Amino acid sequence: MPLVAPSDLLTFERLKQEGITVLTPDCARRQDIRELHIGLLNMMPDAALEATERQFFRLVGESNQIAQFYMHPFYLQAIKRGATARDYVANYYDTFEQLKVDGLDALIITGANVGQPDLALEPFWKPLIEVIDWAMEQVTSTLCSCLANHAVLQFRYGQKRRPLPRKRWGVYPHEVVKRHHPLVHDVNTLFDVPHSRFNQIDHEQFEAAGLHVLVESREAGVHLAVSEDQFRAVFFQGHPEYDTISLLKEYKREVRRYARRERDDYPPLPDYYFTPQIQAILDEHRDQVMAARGSRKPMPAFPEQLITPSLHNTWHDTAEAVINNWIGKVYQITHQNRKIPFMDGINPQDPLGLR
């Protein structure tokens, strides 16, 4: 938990400039151990609904803060779902209308699968705008993941994503480019992040929107950025929440689509994810699948059990550290009255005291 500065000792100011949380005595006296209520707007398709839910819940639950986390998943009715998924969200998810009444301390918005060239044509566009507009006024901080990131950049900042020449798919090295921001305090300055997308918001677009880029990759582009006030909105363009096997599952799904003739080309391997040994196994499997497809013979079994034990996770610890920093800041900024998150001496234009 944070340091308390009982004097004007310059060391405290230096630590604040490095991104370390330092409270005044008055602010410290207002702190207590309490519950935090965090919403999860889960827009992922049916097949990924529960996995995405687990991934984000896990990251929040692993954050090392003295608080009780109440997670509130909710959904948009505009997103079409099958019967099983409709029953699931009806039984276990909250409604946005109820959350507007109860209030949230923080909000996570996931990505989504889309079928339109312009996000504004998607059926969830207007309901999503309503959620984000509400969150920007009533929620201390909103974390926008992947497509949610692109949607916010488009409708709030006029920055449209651009299509990539090929899918950005794999685990890429990243660098912290603004080291004194609290979200990246005590985080490895070099670390990996998975990406899986066909579109991108470029560094120049974040800057044109007045946003602050904290983490990026020479190959994969911007991963982590924050809003003008440094905290109200947090943008993830990558997928640090991914499990070790997430990209393997995506690759397996695409191989099956090729086998069913739902795609003409055999899917490429995700970048920097598989070891040379695993690549050799998958290359052999590719040859078998292509031969079976050509002769219309039964498809060989995907060698998942052979591969899984050799996969490495090079991103989770850093993802956990960033979420830990995020939750810690939400904890410090929020007041017991969740509906008025910016209180007593905290500047809503600069809640982290970075200016």
CB burial of residue 10 (10 Å; 0-12, 13-18, 19+): exposed
- Residue 25 belongs to some domain of the structure: no
Residues 211 and 269 reside in one and the same domain: no
Residues 46 and 165 reside in one and the same domain: yes
Question: Catalytic site residue 241?
Answer: yes
Q: Which residues have CB under 8 Å from 254's CB, separation 6+?
A: 263, 267
pLDDT tens digits, one per residue of 272-310? 999 999 999 999 999 999 999 999 899 999 999 999 999
Selected catalytic residue, list 37, 146, 174, 216: 146
Selected catalytic residue, list 239, 254, 316, 320: 239
- Residue 98 belongs to some domain of the structure: yes
pTM for this prediction: 0.87
Residues 142 and 253 reside in one and the same domain: no
d(CA 222, CA 194): 12
d(CA 91, CA 166): 39
d(CA 136, CA 348): 11
Question: Catalytic site residue 146?
Answer: yes
pLDDT tens digits, one per residue of 203-262? 999 999 999 999 999 999 999 999 999 999 999 999 999 999 999 999 999 999 999 999
Residues 91 and 180 reside in one and the same domain: yes
Kind and range of the H or E run holding 305:
helix 304-307
CB 312 within 8 A of CB 273: no
- Residue 15 belongs to some domain of the structure: no
Q: What is the domain extent for residue 200?
A: 32-242+313-333
The domain total for the chain is 2
Residues 59 and 203 reside in one and the same domain: yes
Count of residues in the chain:
355
- Residue 87 sits in a domain of what CATH number? 3.40.50.880
Selected catalytic residue, list 53, 122, 216, 241: 241
Residues 207 and 118 reside in one and the same domain: yes
Residues 83 and 145 reside in one and the same domain: yes
